[in-house]
Amino acid sequence: MVGGILALLLFMIFVSGLLKGDLFPVFVPDIDPNPAFKENFFILFEIHGGPTDYAKLIFWSFVAGFSERFVIDVISQFQRTAEPEA
């Protein structure tokens, strides 16, 4: 259960574009005539990528499911970079 939740969280990180690189998937939002709808959570269902992006997503979801520490480390790296330096 925890692995599935962390895999979904990792998917949201990929969709947001916070993780970029050749090893990570890139998803492009569909064109929607109603831009106000894009502020909803349902944007997660209105994105698409290429076949290699879905293969990368499956791989990283598998890693997140079996190594929960990986996703927690990714999130903590974002936290460290967001904290102001004293």
Structure confidence by residue, pLDDT tens digits, 54-71: 999 888 888 887 877 888
What are the residue boundaries of the structural domains of the chain, listed by start? 2-31+44-82
Whether 37 shows a pLDDT value over 70: the answer reads no
Tokens of 70: 């990986």
- Decide: helix, strand or coil at residue 64: helix
pLDDT at 52: 92
pLDDT at 55: 92
**Is the pLDDT higher at 44 or at 24?**
24
Instruction: Say how far apart CA 44 and CA 31 lie, in whole Å.
Output: 13
